[in-house]
Chains A and B, each alone.
Chain A
Amino acid sequence: MAEMKYYELIKNPGMVALTDIPILDYHDFREQTIAIMKKESCHCVNYFIRQNTDHVDFYIIIANDSSHKVFVYSHRQKAEIKSLESITQECFQLHVFEREIYENTGIVFENHPWLKPVRYPFDRYDKAFKLSDYPFYRIDSEEIHEVGVGPIHAGIIEPGHFRFQCYGEKVLHLEIQLGYQHRGIENLFIKKNSLLQRCVISESVAGDTTIGHGLAFAQLAETLAESEWNEKLECERIIALEMERMAVHIGDIAALCGDVAYQIGQVSCEALRTIVINTMQDWCGNRFGKGLIRPGGTNYTLGNKILSFIAERLEEVHRRFLEVADMIFDDSGILARFENTGTISAKQVYLSGGVGMVARTSGTCRDIRESHPFQAYKEVKYKPVILDQGDVYARALLRKIEFELSFSVINELITRIEHLSDNLSFKPDYEMNFKPDMLCISLVEGWRGEICHVAVTDHEGKIEIYKIKDPSLHNWHVLALAVREQEISDFPVCNKSFNLSYCGNDL
Chain B
Amino acid sequence: MLKKLKVLKSHGSQYIKNLQTQPVSDLFRGRPIISGNISEQEISRVASICPVDAIDKKSGSIDIGRCVFCKECAFMLPEKIRFTNDYRLAANVRETLIIRPGVEIPVRLDETKVRGEIRKLFSGALKLREVSAGGDNSCEMELAASGNVNFDFGRYGIEFVASPRHADGIVITGPITENMEEALKICYDAIPLPKIIILAGTDAISGGIFDGSPALRRKFIEEHNIDLFVPGNPIHPLTYINGVMDLLGIK
- Taking Cβ atoms with an 8 Å cutoff, the residues of A that contact B are 120-123, 131, 151-152, 154-159, 179-184, 187-188, 191-192, 194, 196-197, 199-201, 204-208, 210, 251, 264, 267-268, 270-271, 274, 278, 281-288, 290-291, 299-300, 319-320, 323-324, 326-327, 330, 427, 430, 501-503, 506
Contact = CB atoms under 8 A, between A and B. Distances in A.
A295 B174 CA distance: 26
B183 A503 contact: no
Contacts of B141: 156, 207-208, 251, 288
Contacts, number: 202
Interface string B223-240: 000000000011010000
Contact of B132 (A121, A159, A196, A287): A159
A182 B150 contact: no
A291 B70 contact: yes
Nearest to A324: B7
A271 B70 CA distance: 27
Given A197-B52, A268-B8, 15 more contacts: A122-B178, A122-B213, A122-B215, A155-B144, A156-B140, A157-B132, A182-B134, A182-B177, A196-B70, A197-B209, A278-B25, A281-B28, A285-B83, A326-B3, A501-B137
A208 B136 CA distance: 7
B4 interface: yes
Nearest to A201: B209
A131 B134 contact: no
B27 A290 contact: no
Nearest 3 A-B pairs (CB), nearest first?
A207-B138, A207-B136, A184-B215
B112 interface: no
A253 to B, nearest CB: 13
Contacts of B153: none
Contacts of B116: none
Nearest to B2: A327
A274 B25 contact: no
A155 B162 contact: yes
Nearest to A131: B179
Interface in B96-138: 130-138
A68 to B, nearest CB: 32
Contact of B214 (A122, A200, A201): A122
Contact of B142 (A182, A285, A287): A287
A324 B134 CA distance: 34
Is the interface on chain B under 10, 10 to 19, 20 to 34, or 35 or more residues? 35 or more
A340 to B, nearest CB: 24
20 contacts: A151-B183, A158-B140, A180-B180, A181-B174, A182-B178, A182-B215, A187-B213, A197-B52, A204-B136, A204-B203, A205-B136, A206-B136, A207-B234, A210-B138, A264-B4, A290-B234, A323-B6, A324-B7, A503-B136, A506-B177
A18 B142 CA distance: 43
B155 interface: no
Contacts of A320: 7, 10-11
B206 to A, nearest CB: 14
A322 to B, nearest CB: 10
B29 to A, nearest CB: 5
Nearest to B3: A327
Nearest to B151: A274
Interface string B34-45: 000000000000
A191 B210 CA distance: 11
A204 B209 contact: yes
A123 B69 CA distance: 30
Contact of B150 (A206, A271, A324, A506): A271
B68 A200 contact: yes
Interface in B136-175: 136-145, 148-150, 160, 162, 174-175
B21 interface: no
